[in-house]
Each structure stands twice: as structure tokens, then as C-alpha cells.
Homo-oligomer: A and B are copies of this chain.
Amino acid sequence: MYIIQGSSRENGNTEQLTAILTKGIQVESVNLRDKKILQIVDGRHAESGFMPVEDDMASIVDAMLKHDTLVFATPLYWYGMSGHMKTFIDRWSQCLRDEALQFKERMQGKKVYVVIVGGPKAKMTGLPLVQQFQHICSFMGMSLEGWIIGRGSKPGDVLLDQETIAQAKEWNREWSEEAK
């Protein structure tokens, strides 16, 4: 299980919720905010194609491809995934054109979970983001296994969102069983 953390701050609600979900489970993870990831330059129809980029993208992609299960954890920023995460995913378009990488073939079949934390109305206003992830998974041939939306603004808030915590503990129970 590979956790892709999109939050821009340390130990915020999204990380706190992820900690409950993965308690007792061995995971690998990346904090996108600690990595250098440049914006995509669309080279799909340029004569020269995509240009090489000097950043941390390749190492994250390598790690991601080694896992069967991916967890995308992001705060709900402006009713979408964080810019950190969007910038990362946009670059997949370049991965798709790198024939040696076989990106789509290797992403295909992966299980995906989406973890979102937003403000008090996030269980409504976060739904377009869930639908976006559904389209992403569908395009890549990945299976969107589940998604969870927590509510919180100040760090610690999400721990008081009892409904979400009840769901999270159930996910943790199921993930723990599968990990056995």
C-alpha cells in the first residue's frame, strides 16, 4: 500500500485521518510537498515530443508502480485535490508517452482509495472530486475501491468527526485483514 499525501502542511487533518486508516498496517508513503514536481508542459503534439524534466517525478512513479494499492490523500482545496497532487497527476500524461515505462499497463488493475478532508460541508462539496477520481481510475483501468470524506479545518478537527472516524476504523479493520 502506497500513500500519496497531497497536503501542504505537516500533521494536518488529512494526515491524521490517514493515520487512523493505516494504524498497524505497513505502508510506504510520499509527501508530495517535500518533492520537486514541475508543471506539465504538454508535448503530445509537439514535434520534439515531451522534453526531459529534472525533478523528483521519476522516483515517485517508480515507488508507486511497485504497489498494488494506492491511497490518494488530499485536503479539499477549493473543492478539488491540492495543487501539489494535481501537478503530480498531470505529469502522468508524460509518463503515458514514455514507452519504456509501460505506465498504463502497470497502473492497470491497481486498487485505489481516496481520502479527502474538507470543511464542514465537505461531504457534499467534495463529491465532484470523488467523481473526478472515478474518471481517472476508469481511464487508467484502476479500480476505485472506496473513498472517504472527513470534515475538519483546524488540525485535530477530523478526529471529532465521529461518522468519519467510525468509517475509518471499519476500513482499517478490513485493510488489516487483507494485509494478513
Contact = CB atoms under 8 A, between A and B. Distances in A.
Interface size bracket, A side: 35 or more
A12 B42 CA distance: 9
A100 interface: no
A132 interface: yes
Interface stretch (A22-30, A55-63, A102-110, A121-129): A121-129
Contacts of A33: 39, 41
Interface string A77-94: 111111110110110110
Interface string A117-152: 000000111011111101110010000101100000
Interface of A: 7-9, 12, 33, 39-46, 75, 77-84, 86-87, 89-90, 92-93, 123-125, 127-132, 134-136, 139, 144, 146-147, 153-155, 162-163, 166-167, 169-171, 173-174
Given A9-B46, A123-B147, A166-B169, 19 more contacts: A8-B39, A8-B40, A9-B45, A12-B42, A39-B82, A40-B82, A77-B90, A78-B86, A78-B89, A79-B132, A79-B139, A81-B86, A82-B86, A82-B90, A83-B86, A127-B131, A128-B131, A129-B132, A132-B132
